[in-house]
Amino acid sequence: MVDNYVIHMDYSIKVIAIGVAASRCVRKMMEHPLTNVEYCIVSADETDLDLNNSNVRSIGLVPNCSPHIIDSYGSNMWFNQCFVNWENEVKVKSIINQSAKQVVIVVGFGGGIGTSGTIWIAEISKKQNIPVTVVCTLPFGFEGERKRQRALDAVKSLEEIGIAVKVLYAEDLWKMNEGLDLYNCFVFLDEYVTDTVASMLLRR
């Protein structure tokens, strides 16, 4: 997997998207990028990355083994066995370098990479004494109780280690916008996440 290493050491705010839904949001954010912000995508799937955009730093996670043959697929144990290694940690730390004064992680909770990867990146940031805020969406109801519980467990785990979490409820947004088809509902959700992050950073 190719990585796009665009280093802006003077960018004090790092917005890190992890997973499919979050990578869409970062692409949306790049339509009106904020100053002093470095936008990054972290994923194990090259199709999530934005390798052709020199303004987005794209980091591909390299697995230790085949992610699909481990019994605990989607769990924290699965992520730790597959993706927590020296090479991936060096890549993440190259984003969260000495210039970082704030890290904002954008994620759609419920999936394996985004959910467990967020906890991992948040812990790395916390160990370097960098303030972290996680802006996350919880799954739609039709995505199943298992995904929703995984998302709620992730929020709880982050709060227990002192990470600030801003939760956006996808299901509530859908109910508030009756008549939207599923595709446009995801588009609306991406815009809501983008606006939430921008408002948060502009208030600094």
Per-residue pLDDT of the chain (204 residues; tens, 9 = 90+): 445 444 444 578 999 999 888 888 888 898 888 888 999 999 887 777 766 666 788 889 988 877 666 555 567 888 888 899 999 999 999 888 877 889 999 999 988 788 999 999 999 999 999 999 999 988 877 778 888 898 999 999 999 999 999 998 877 776 776 666 666 677 777 888 888 898 888 776
Rounded distance, CA 194 to CA 28, Å? Answer: 7
Specify the pairing of strand 164-169 against strand 37-43: unpaired
Q: What is the DSSP letter of 44?
A: S
What pLDDT sits at residue 64? 85
pTM score > 0.85 for this model? yes
Do 203 and 104 touch, CB atoms closer than 8 A? no
CA-CA-CA-CA dihedral for 99, 202, 153, 93, to nearest 10? -10
Amino acid, res. 92: V
Q: Which of 36, 159, 25, 195 has its CA nearest to residue 101?
A: 36
SS3 23: helix
Q: What is the pLDDT of residue 5?
A: 46
**pLDDT score recorded for residue 144:** 81
